[in-house]
Amino acid sequence: MTENTFNTPAPGSPGSEKPRSRNGLIYGILIAALAGTWIYMLYDKNKTSEQIVQKTTQIDSISSSRDALQQEYNAANARLDDLISQNTRMDSLVKTKDKEIQDMKARISSILTNKNATQAQLAEARRLIEQLKSSIEGYQQTIERLEGEKIVLAGERDFARKERDSVSVVKDSLNKKVDLGSVLHASNIQLQPIRIKHNGKEIETTKAKRADMMRVSFDLDDNRIAPTGDKEIFVAITAPDNTPLAVEALGSGRFTLEDGTEKLYTTKKTVAYVTGQKQSVTMDWKQNSDYKVGDYTVEIYHNGFKIGQGKVTLRKGGLF
């Protein structure tokens, strides 16, 4: 029987417990080290997450502040533009401090467009926006003062204009009375159909077929207001069918009535009138067509006013 060269302690003997104890100690140390590593890793991860949350919160806060300032700045700019568009004086007022305002707006825009702007820079932007708003408020007060002065001046001008207009109305009224008073008046108006015989003799007729021309005669009554001078008298003859006798080639045309409307005239004549004297006037109308049977009316006009009228009837002609 071969002898065993290894001195292995028998189970249960004191020597057999030492290797086990060493192994357990090593396992314990390894487990403790691993647990410590995990604990450190968890702590470091939590710390990093907390720092990320804090950084994110800080960035969100800065971004919100920048957005709020941007809104305030936009509102201030809009108010400034509105004041300028509504008031030319505001425009000139702003131009006197244009460099200061432009520099201020440029600095504010520079900060607000910078995504990495710091809290200190945002605070500067807020201060500048408040300064801009204060300037705008000052401009508004200046405008209100200027507008108040403008209203006072406008009131004074209105009063002066009303006084002037009142005088003008009285003057115009007097002038109108004088103008109306100087309008002549026609009386003894006659419309005579005339037949011209072969020997040139003129005889009055009542037959349409025999009439060669119409003779209008009337008196211009004496007027002590109308000044001496040439007076243009218009005569308008209307045919039985209510059409005006007017042929431009024969001297007819249009004239203006006192209400501004126009009217056709048959013929006109310039009369050399003498103040305070009664004058007889005769005007002939010879047309290039036959006269119709029926009633003819004649109206006399001076200065756009009708100053008299008359009528004549032409009958159907007989054998002779």
pLDDT band at 6; cut points 50, 70, 90: very low
Per the prediction, the chain carries an average pLDDT of 78
Q: Which residues contact 278 (CB under 8 A, 6 or more apart)?
A: 219, 220, 221, 222
Q: What is the pLDDT of residues 159-189, one digit of tens each?
A: 667 767 665 655 455 444 445 667 889 999 9
104 CB neighbour count, 10 Å cutoff: 16
Q: Which of 191-195, 261-265, 315-319 has the lowest mean pLDDT?
A: 315-319
Question: Domain locations in the chain?
Answer: 27-147, 186-314
Helix (H, G, I), strand (E, B) or coil at 265: strand
Q: Is the pLDDT of residue 13 over 60?
A: no
Superfamily of domain 186-314 in the CATH hierarchy? Immunoglobulins (2.60.40.10)
Residues 291-311, mean pLDDT to the nearest whole number: 92
Ranges 136-150, 186-200, 305-319, most confident: 186-200
Residues 198-202, mean pLDDT to the nearest whole number: 89
Q: What is the pLDDT of residues 229-248, one digit of tens each?
A: 999 999 999 999 999 999 99
Residue pointed to by tokens 């949350």: 53
- Whole-model pTM: value is 0.46
Closest CA to 216 of 294, 304, 297, 119: 297
**C-alpha angle with apex 271: 268 to 275, nearest 5 degrees?**
140
